[in-house]
Amino acid sequence: MRNETIAIHGGFDQDPATKAVAVPIYQNVAYAFDSADHGAALFNLEEDGYRYSRISNPTVAVLERRVAALHGGVAALAVASGQAALHYAFANVADRGGNIVSVPQLYGTTHTLLAHVLPRQGITGRFAASDRADDLGALIDGDTRAVFCESIGNPAGNVADIAELAAVAHRHGVPLIVDNTVASPILQKPIAFGADIVVESLTKFMGGHGTTMGGAIIDGGQFDWAANAARFPAFSEPDASYHGLSYTGHFGQTAFVARCRSVYQRTTGAVLAPLSAFMLLQGIETVALRVERHVENGAAVAAYLRRDPRVEWVNYAGFPDHPDHARVQKYLGGRASSLLTFGVRGGLEGGKRFYDALRLVKRLVNIGDAKSLACHPASTTHRQMTASEQRGAGVTPELIRLSVGIEHIADILADLDQALDAAESGRADLGARRLASE
């Protein structure tokens, strides 16, 4: 099936109990056992079924199957947020200590997780000088547990060379973990290019309406944990915390996600609520259509800004002269992301005047909403980084990040035009007056 169809039907036909064709919200914590033996069989994983919603829930399970299907993965775990998904993925691969070798262009909170928070738990982030596979390869050693990148960096907009990064990771016997939040599976399916594990914030394009937090870990099922047991003993050795279970032995190809669920979700509980799963499923039904319009509007906004003398620079990988343009063709089917960055004339102050004058475009820190959104990363999402870390992540003081929404393009451009006027004149009220007179 194609994206549009999976997004509507993937992982669900009808409710087995009621024949409802919309996914029911199983707002339920626990599930009855037929007998002591039945309960024991469920706990021993000898029988399929639900026990307790911290481990799995029928509504969340539909979301998991749908997201896995959209990615061409073998299984998925849905959790409370994108950050929880990243935390679980990193911990799952490196919880006996080790390092994660990463590209430098990361979402600010993920950088903080790898640079500051996980090191307190014995897992260190190592940041390469660039997203080139050679630069990452140079940092891999015997303690490396994964190579990590964002398929499209937020906000840098770089497009990672997934095939090359997978090749360098696999040469060293480690998996490639890809955060595919900005691309969504509509623009890219990293598993098809060699990624082993995909992490996504469902809060963004997948949900698409700025209403619901959620995250997912998707297992490509290809990494051979048992063959690499010296580096990853936790997947094949008996797990004392789960009555001696071997994850590769019991779950085979889905060992990674199964261990995330059995160890991390079960014991630390960043559970996705059934209602949230339902809301995200509603959003996902239209994700393919929405992303099409996001891409179209993003291209129009990028072209408009680049033509405009009030704008100093625009970073948009869809431009033929962008260094990652060939990767846009290879990895995104020629469809550049609607997340773009630019700097207006007048530096930091001009940028702030522009930002303050926006009327339709919302000032906030989110991306992938149906609404157009603008953010000033240096003062918000990336403010915990040093100036040089910010530069490495592609963040400069004047940079404005736009997540171009799916409103009518003429209305988006009109708002940008009035805000650019305001930035030029220094009078942030100019735009308001102009809109009022329309």
219 φ/ψ angles, rounded to the nearest 5 degrees: -100, 120
Mark 317-356 with x for binding to ligand PLP (rule: CB under 6 A) and - for no binding: ----------------------------------------
Piece in contact with ligand PLP (CB under 6 A), picked from 80-88, 184-192, 269-277, 397-405: 80-88
Sketch the per residue contact string, 155 through 194, with ligand PLP: x for CB under 6 A, - otherwise.
------------------------x-xx------------
- Minimum distance, C-beta of residue 88 to ligand PLP, in the bound complex (Å): 12
What distances in angstroms separate CA 46 from CA 37, 245, 260, one per listed residue? 11, 12, 19
Spatial contact of 63 and 272, defined as CB atoms under 8 Å apart: yes
Residue 82 binds to ligand PLP (criterion: CB under 6 A): yes
Site for ligand PLP in 202-221 (CB under 6 A): 203, 213, 215
The two beta strands, 215-219 and 197-201, are antiparallel
Of 92 and 181, the one with the shorter C-beta distance to ligand PLP is 181
Which of residues 73, 114, 147, 150 is near ligand PLP by CB under 6 A? 150
DSSP string, 156-223: T--B--HHHHHHHHHHTT--EEEE-TTTHHHH--GGGGT-SEEEEETTTTTT-SS----EEEEE-S--
Q: Could you tell me how many residues of this chain bind ligand PLP (CB under 6 A)?
A: 15
Pick the stretch among 26-34, 77-85, 243-251, 397-405 that binds ligand PLP (CB under 6 A).
77-85
For ligand PLP, which is the closer residue by CB, 160 or 182?
A: 182
Nearer to ligand PLP, 154 or 341 (CB): 154
Q: At its nearest, how many Å lie between ligand PLP and the CB of residue 46?
A: 35
Output the smallest distance, CB 399 to ligand PLP, in A: 15
Q: How far is the CB of 106 from ligand PLP (least distance, A)?
A: 8
CA 294 centroid distance within chain? 17
Residue type, 246: S
206 vs 299 by CB, closer to ligand PLP: 206
Quick one: 102 or 154, whose CB is closer to ligand PLP? 154
Q: Which stretch binds ligand PLP (CB under 6 A): 81-89, 114-122, 135-143, 322-330?
A: 81-89
Instruction: Tell me if 49 sits within 8 A of 42, measured CB to CB.
Output: yes
Instruction: Map residues 361-380 to x or -, x wherever contact with ligand PLP holds by CB under 6 A.
Output: ------x-------------
Q: How many CA atoms lie within 13 A of 392 on its CB side?
A: 17
CB of 256 to ligand PLP, least distance (A): 19
70 near 281, Cβ under 8 Å? no
**Strand 75-79 to strand 400-403: parallel, antiparallel, or no bridges (unpaired)?**
unpaired
Kindly list the distances between the CA atom of residue 171 and the CA atoms of 100, 145, 164, in Å, as whole numbers in the listed order: 15, 13, 11
Largest CA distance in the chain: 76
Closest distance of CB 390 from ligand PLP, Å: 15
In the bound complex, what is the minimum distance in angstroms from residue 339's beta carbon to ligand PLP?
A: 9
Tokens matching residue 241: 């915390």
Which is nearer to ligand PLP, 216 or 301 (by Cβ)?
216
**CA 115 → CA 112, 287, 385, 403, distances in Å?**
5, 33, 10, 26
The residue among 99 and 181 lying less far from ligand PLP, judged by its C-beta, is: 181
Task: Extract the tokens encoding 434.
Answer: 């102009």
Token pair of 391 as six digits: 């530069």
- Best CA proximity match to 184, nearest among 66, 77, 104: 66
Cβ-closest position to ligand PLP:
82
Instruction: State the residues that interact with ligand PLP by CB under 6 A.
Output: 81-83, 107, 110, 150, 154, 179, 181-182, 201, 203, 213, 215, 367
